[in-house]
Structure 1
Amino acid sequence: MAGELPVRHALPELLSALDAHGTAVLTAPPGSGKTTVVPLALADAGLRVLVAEPRRLAVRAAARRMGVSYAIRGERHTGADPRVEVVTTGLLLQRLQHDPELPGADVVVLDECHERHLDADTALAFLLDVRETLRPDLRLLATSATADAAPWSRLLGGAPVVAASGTPHPVETVWAPPARPLPPPHGMRVDPALLAHVAQVVRRALAERQGDVLCFLPGTAEIARVAGLLRDVTNDMNGGNGGNGGNGEGGGDGVEVLQVHGQAPARVQDAVLSPGTRRRVVLATSVAESSLTVPGVRVVVDSGLAREPRTDHARGLGSLTTVRVSRAGAVQRAGRAGREAPGTVYRCWTEAEHERLAEHPRPEIALADLTGFALQAACWGVPDAAALALLDPPPDAAMAAATATLTDLGALDGGRVTARGRRMAGLGLHPRLARALIDAGPRAAEVVALLSEQLPRDAGDDLVEVWRSARRGGDAFASRWRQEVRRLSRSLAPGGGGAAGNGGAAGRAGTFQSGDTSEGVGASRSHRDTGSRGGGGLGDDAFAGLVVALAFPERVARRRGGGYLMASGTAAALGEGSRLAGAPWLAVAVADRPTGSASARVRQAVEIDEATARLAHPVTAEEEVAWRVPPGERRGDVSARVVERLGAIELSSAPLPDADVRAALLHGLRTEDVLTWTRDALAVRARLAFCHRAVGEPWPDVGGAGPGMEALADLADRWLEPELSRARRRADLERIDVAAALLCLVPWSERLEAVAPERVQVPSGSRVRIDYSQERPVLAVKLQELFGWDGAPSIAGVPLLVHLLSPAGRPVAVTADLASFWRDGYRAVRAELRGRYPRHPWPEDPLTATPTSRTNRRT
């Protein structure tokens, strides 16, 4: 094998680097033999080798090709060569936690580091810690299919970089974009037109090239769709969740189709890794990108899409989203075509689009739910992960959310891992599922096994029905499920499901037996102090609901309108035609939030009752005094009550008499037009606002002339007492005489009438109201009443702005300089209006005329 692959030329340099430095980074392009040749060469040098791969499929493939032992979750195989063992990075983490010295290993090879899986990044950080403190003799080798090795070299303390150049065989690139631009992927949705185009490109590749075809697609649903589109030219061997009648195989002499993904059964994986008797089309997710040689493949068809995790930490929801593959990922995929002979890659996008792709995929630590990572770090002794040697630090928000979750689960107490947390970490599950398994007992293994696997594509949203189907089924999914149930059952310590050790909050458990009811479960009971020891005689529905609620307490949901409200505060909706529709309570096992949607979409759930919800999630009873606007209403009012809540879900409420409602009333004043603003009230406020603008202190800032301003609420102690002290509700505020109350804001040393008089006397003898609602005070008066007045007075040093009105009360001129108006503007106004209003005086000289508010006598 070593004589055929390019990596052989780098072996002497690599062995020398490891001997001299103890660490090294190997860069080698896809297909160069780094995964299978290097471990055997290290073994031939007298070292016991532990190889860590990011995927289970890669573990089985590499071990089979080398003839060595391997171990994955729930499966262990002893190979002919005992010097090398291949494991998943997740299993390596468990071994490190169990025994950090890794007895029996002289060198650890972390393969495909460039993919930046979270487990791989964590394992390398732990190994560097081990090498520094416990085993300086432990050698570490990081391998990458990309040439960007500098970051890894720095992380490994200046480790030498060994480059294996060249590829086994050249790979020709064929650009094969759709005939017309198609919409980009949105969330999990991929345009069916793109999948149809991918199927067409596969047909083209079968016609134009020899050898098997490996086609990369983002997920199992897309694989199934393309397989269906190819059915007329192939006979299908279906690797997906027991499709094709449940037997997973097709017959006949046509092209064979294999559907390969992380959940594919072992027999399909074996079929992929063995030479075929017919020409084959392998439809695969990114699990086939690296560390995997598919015999016979000469052609790769790349859809250009991949799936990345997304986590909504605020809502506690995780999902996958479809993204464009990175350039590094595209190179990895193309390399599958040149492993055994010259090959071809058909890329379903343009060369120009290729140049715009991201150079590398985003590291999983920046995208994923970090609850499991945070527990691993806490068990290692670095709860905040700050001391770990990581290429990228975990995001603060994600770590804060993870720490809060672990604290609620009882895995952390004051930031330190508890004995319960260590037990959870040892189960090889997400901490949420580990909590459910521990607290609900051995029987929970069946439900937890469902939650830890990707469910069949055709599984409905009723998890109990999925459970019953798995019990009955004989397909690949049922087989994997039973295997995981056995593993989980074995993993539980003797005595089953109680919390172990000091347990933190969740460890202070009571019991949940079949006779428990909601009676006696008070508001202070919560998942922190109500564990379960086996579920007693609960039926499937009730027990499955309990397990799901224990694992995801914030997803307990109560019916609200046409949908549901989760304890986390997130709205949720069932799919159309759901069998769970109408259930008053749900324990939601799987949910995601579609891109751009504020509501979660329920994928799998179980109907539960309120008693189970109370057992799983903390229930609080709080006094609530607030200004509330009822749903569907626009007007709020004071709400004073005792409220019992399960997270964001309101369970019950009772009136709270004699509560201090002052803060609520003030909030109403700030946010709504609660007071009754009469004309007189608005006028008084406008005068006060003018005084503050014109004079300043000691006149207060009342915030303008309109109602509902926050400034007035801040002054409530000065102008709304004692009315505010007596008020209990909105109606009491509405009855306040606002004009009279506002006068309390006049400084004791001032008189409002002296600074901002309400009215001013004009030459006709009329007392005309001044409008203070504008930036300058306005005097609006009929023109005839001002004859002989060559200047309006000033108010607090601000000249009045005079609006001269016609006899009908309509403005005909605006001026702050009356003398100028009489001299320059009056003639035009007189010429225009005296014919229209002949009974009113229009003298030629207004300065000598007698001012009047009356009309001329009839002649």
Structure 2
Amino acid sequence: MFNLRVIGEGLPVAVVIDQLPDTGPLVVEAPPGTGKTTLVPPAIANMVGKTLATAPRRVAVRAVARRLAQLDGTGVGEKVGYAIRGEHHPGELVEFVTPGVLLNRLIADPGLEGVNAVVIDEVHERQLDTDLVLAMCMEVAILRDDFYLAAMSATLDARKFADHMGAAILSTEAVTHPLTIEYAPHPERAQGTREFYRHIAALAQHSERTLVFVPGVREVELVGSFLDDWAPLHGRLTSGEQDRALSGSQQVVVATSIAESSITVPGVRRVVDAGLSRVPRRDAARAMTGLVTVSTAKTSADQRAGRAGRLGPGSVVRAYSQADYQRFQPDITPEIATSDLTSAALTVAAWGSPDLPLVDQPPKQSLIDAHHTLRDLGALDGDDITGFGRKLSALPLDPRHGAALLRFGSGAAPTVAALSDQPVRRLERLVRRTPPVNAGEVVAAAYPQWVAKKMGDTYLLASGTRATLDAQIGQPEWIAAAEVQLTNKGAVIRAAEPYELPVERVTEETRAALVDGSVRGRRVKAVGAIELSSTPVKLTPEEAAEALTDLRFESFSLSESAQRLKDRLDFLHSEVGEPWPDVAKGDYSPEIGEVARGASISKLDMRAALLRQLPWPEAAKMDELAPERVGVGRIDYSTGRPIVRVKLQKCFGMAESPTCAGVRVLFHLLSPAGRELAVTDDLRSFWDGPYQQVRKEMRGRYPKHPWPEDPWRAI
């Protein structure tokens, strides 16, 4: 048992800790600095037994485990333990872990035998692994009545999580100290120039210990280069290096978002915030995900500011304007909406649940792309995980890196270690021993779509994307790219290895495309989108038809009468709905067959094809619902609304605008020369009002045409 009175002394959350319900699910809503990460896990462990608690970053896992053990008067590895990648100290009652470690445990042991509770911290950060852990633990809780599930949030979105989980909410207020906030904007913040980060460094120099927030590791080092007494804090540091930042006495600590929550940098009374975050963004068209620098969310800016007020009154300097802050998006965008989902999709497949209760569902195309990658790796067969996929899911690696390691053995470990930022020896122990393997071969096995050939000043990737090379490897003809970033200037290859023409990856196939309205075939040797040779060939009708499988309706040429018919059908589909169809999604297989047999797409009778899409017997009412004409002229449906363009004199005496499918016809009334004089769908009001001004202006210009004072009698 833990002595909660001793552990919770001085922590605001201690005031409500005795209100913890006996059973879950539970959402704890507590701002940063309240002590929820330190006190809630041992409190739950006292009630139910062995408790796992997640924190989103390794440095936070290690720090909170050591802090709790210290407050309990025991050592790490006794009542309190922790597990991060490559480091495990079991705890008898409480064990802090990263979400990734818990995911691996869940896959290996779906029932979490021997574990009585899971506490998921910082759910508001919406990290992908945290979302997956929450969903999987919700399913564990359904199967186990004795399982206690709690989620903890530092922002005001607790209700969303509580509704999703069907959970009670326990809230506590932070003991807040006054903060002085000042704004010190710089004109080059958005560009992230060297001068902007020099400005950040200047703001950081102060008599109070200062915590500086910048978006990434490069910016940490850049700001540090302008300082004398400083320490870095980011996720790429070793455990020892992170400890030095947290326990050292440097006047300035320059950190990424790692220091926003879960950990406390001692002695900080001042925060300098660049107001920037580095987040994943996915380009669905190119099936690529890159890290981009954006303005941080308001919730993140507020959390950063709060770091200055933990010990007492503090100050915050924001390197942006108050107007910039007001334009920040309110909340963090969930990673599931913007990230590469390959690892997540493999985890879900290994878990085996078809309807995982995620807080937000992933974008459909991103999930399709992830499944495609996993099938290419051999991890999925259709939608089912394979034996190879099971092996991949057990590795603490991205599936692409794991596939390369399993394929080549220990000889690939140095390259995979560089790709995954893991120790070589640890990876060597996971696979069979093999001789050294060429780095380019390993990278190409992990990222076959990023094999690239030099084309002029750029490289063409096998995926079809052109990219510039920004890696110190010269300018070889062939490369295997390991990192491709999306930037404002296009795709940039940041890391790559030289490669030879990948003979084993060369495919030979017949490709077909529409050229000048007809199908043309070529016999192509290629590596993905990189064509090595091309020879014209005559296609069989079957080959041509297969090439036209994905032909879009927009590729068909419509005559004027066919286009008018389509416009009428689109109008009815929009205004009436069923059974009037969306003709762009209709069946045009007979027309596709004609093109496959050699007909030009421009010669097809598309009016007849459109008539074939009409619903019967409702089609008999088409002229009633959407007539081609009214008495004074043809109706144009191309804008989605029925419009008649007609000379004003033809409408004398018309009081009411006719309707089409309940929508009034819009009249564009024209001068004798065809210029627009008025637009109305209420002719009666026009004659009784605006007409007199039109008459005054026009009768002198067109004296030979009637402009009666009383348009009602000019019939």
Asked whether the two chains share a fold, i.e. TM above 0.5, the reply is yes
Q: What is the Cα deviation at residue 57 of structure 1?
A: 1.1
2: CA distance between counterparts of 1:89 and 1:327? Answer: 25
Q: 2:150 aligns with which of 120, 141, 145?
A: 141
Is 1:182 paired with 2:76? no
Amino acid at match of 2:499: I
Give secondary structure in 1 for the equivalent of 2:106.
helix
Structure 1 position 265, deviation (Å): 2.1
Find the aligned partners of 2:537 and 2:473 in 1 and give their Cα distance.
40
TM-superposed deviation, 1:166: 2.5
Separation of aligned partners in 1, 2:503 and 2:287: 19
1:69 paired with 2:81, answer: yes
Q: 1:160 aligns with which of 158, 168, 180?
A: 168
Shift in CA distance, 92/653, structure 1 to aligned 2, threshold 3 Å: same
Aligned to 1:486: 425
The equivalences for 1:515-594 within 5 A come to: 534=434, 543-575=438-470, 578-581=472-475, 583-594=476-487
Alignment of 1:370-381 (within 5 A): 370-381=341-352
- 3-state SS in 2 of match to 1:69: strand
Gaps of 5+ in 2: 1-6, 70-79, 549-559, 561-598, 606-715
CA deviation vs aligned residue, 1:317-341 (integer Å, no higher than 9, x gap) = 2211111111111222122222233
Q: 1:349 Cα deviation (Å)?
A: 2.4
Query: 1:429 pairs with 397, 410, 416, which one?
Result: 397
Question: What fraction of aligned residue pairs are identical, expressed as a percent?
Answer: 43
Amino acid at match of 1:308: V
Which secondary structure does the structure 2 equivalent of 1:645 belong to? strand
Matched, 1:650 2:531: yes
Distance in 1 between residues matched to 2:223 and 2:81, nearest whole Å: 35
Amino acid across the alignment from 1:607: P
User: CA 1:110/1:715 → structure 2, altered by over 3 Å: closer, same or farther?
Assistant: closer
Residues 53-79 of structure 1: per-residue CA shift (max 9 Å, x gap): 11111111111111221110111235x
Contact kept? 2:520, 2:538, Cα under 8 Å: no
Please give the secondary structure, in 2, of the residue aligned with 1:428: coil
Separation in 2 of the partners of 1:442 and 1:108? Answer: 35
Q: Flag the 1:136–1:561 CA change in 2: closer, same or farther, 3 A.
A: same
Q: Aligned equivalents of 2:254 and 2:289: distance in 1?
A: 26
Distance verdict in 2 for CA 1:314–1:435, change over 3 Å: farther
**Aligned equivalent of 1:92, options 102, 124, 138:** 102
The DSSP-based 3-state class of the residue aligned with 1:491 is coil
Give the CA deviation at 1:412.
Answer: 0.7
Aligned to 1:214: 211
1:606-642 Cα distance to aligned partner (Å, 9 max, x none)? 11112xx243x4x43223465769xxxxxx9997542
Secondary structure of the residue that 2:93 maps to in structure 1? strand
CA contact (8 A) 2:182 2:318 kept: yes
Amino acid at match of 1:58: A
Q: Distance in 2 between matches of 1:46 and 1:545?
A: 52
Which residue of structure 2 aligns with residue 623 of structure 1? 510
Q: Per the alignment, in what secondary structure is the counterpart of residue 242 of structure 2?
A: helix
Question: Which residue of 30, 36, 40 corresponds with 2:32?
Answer: 30
The answer to whether the 8 A contact 1:182-1:193 is kept is: no
Q: How does 1:781-796 map to 2 (within 5 A)?
A: none
Give the partner amino acid of 1:343.
G
How far is 1:3 from its partner?
A: 1.5
Aligned to 2:230: 257
Counterpart residue type for residue 647 of structure 1:
G
Task: Name the SS of the counterpart of 2:34 in structure 1.
Answer: coil
CA distance in 2, matches of 1:332, 1:177: 19
Alpha carbons 1:171, 1:334 under 8 Å: kept: no
1:68-99 CA distance string (max 9 Å, x none):
21110111235xx6311111000000000000
CA RMSD of aligned residues (A): 2.9
Contact preservation (8 Å) 2:51, 2:118: yes
Matching residue's letter, 1:589? A
Deviation at 1:350, TM superposition (A): 2.8
Instruction: Give distance in 2, aligned partners of 1:279 and 1:566.
Output: 45
- Aligned match of 1:57: 59
Contact persistence 2:275–2:296 (CA under 8 A): yes
Shift of 1:147: 2.3
Distance 2:395 2:448 in 1: 20
Deviation string 1:683-739 (CA, Å, 9 cap, x unpaired) is xxxxxx9xxxxxxxxxxxxxxxxxxxxx9964499xxxxxxxxxxxxxxxxxxxxxx
When structure 1 is superposed on structure 2, of 24-33 and 314-323 the one drifting more is: 314-323
Distance 1:713 1:591, change over 3 A: closer
CA deviations 1:630-667 (Å, max 9, x no partner) are xxxxxx99975421222111123345479889989xx9
- Say if 2:189 and 2:196, in contact at 8 Å, map to a contact too: no
SS at 1:322's partner residue?
Answer: strand
Q: Taking structure 1 as the reference length, what is the TM-score of the superposition?
A: 0.59
AA aligned opposite 2:530: I
CA distance in 2, matches of 1:279, 1:608: 45
> What is the letter of the counterpart of residue 369 of structure 2?
A
**Of residues 216, 240, 252 in structure 2, which corresponds to 1:267?**
240
Give the one of 596, 605, 613 matched to 2:496. Answer: 605
* 2:278 matched residue in structure 1: 307
Question: Aligned pair 1:392/2:360, yes or no?
Answer: yes
Instruction: Give the C-alpha shift of residue 291 in structure 1.
Output: 0.6
Aligned partners of 1:355 and 1:714: how far apart in 2? Answer: 54
* Aligned-partner Cα distance in 1 for 2:224–2:512: 60
Task: Extract unaligned runs of 5+ from structure 1.
Answer: 235-255, 454-480, 497-533, 630-635, 668-688, 690-710, 718-859
Q: How far does the alpha carbon of each residue in 1:182-214 deviate from its partner, in whole angstroms, 9 at most, with x for none? A: 2553xxx513332222122112xx14xx3x211
Corresponding residue to 2:409 among 419, 441, 446: 441
| Structure 1: distance between partners of 2:43 and 2:542 | 79
Q: Would you say the 8 A contact 1:297–1:336 is kept in 2?
A: yes
Deviations, residues 102-151 of structure 1 (Å, cap 9, x unaligned): 12321111011110000000001000101112x22110111111122111
Answer yes or no: is 1:198 the counterpart of 2:203.
no
Q: CA deviation at 1:279?
A: 4.9
SS of the residue corresponding to residue 441 of structure 1 reads helix
Residue 489 of structure 1, CA deviation: 2.2
Instruction: Answer whether contact 1:258 1:268 (CA < 8 A) is retained.
Output: no
Secondary structure of residue in 2 paired with 1:308: strand
Q: What's the offset of the Cα at 1:225?
A: 1.4
SS of the aligned residue for 2:59 comes to helix
Which piece of structure 1 moves more, 346-355 or 439-448?
346-355
| Larger gyration radius, structure 1 or structure 2 | 1
Query: Does the aligned pair in 1 maintain the 2:48–2:117 contact within 8 Å?
Result: no
Correspondence for 1:292: 263
Partner of 2:387: 419
Spell out the pairing of 1:321-400 with structure 2 (5 A cutoff): 321-382=292-353, 387-400=355-368
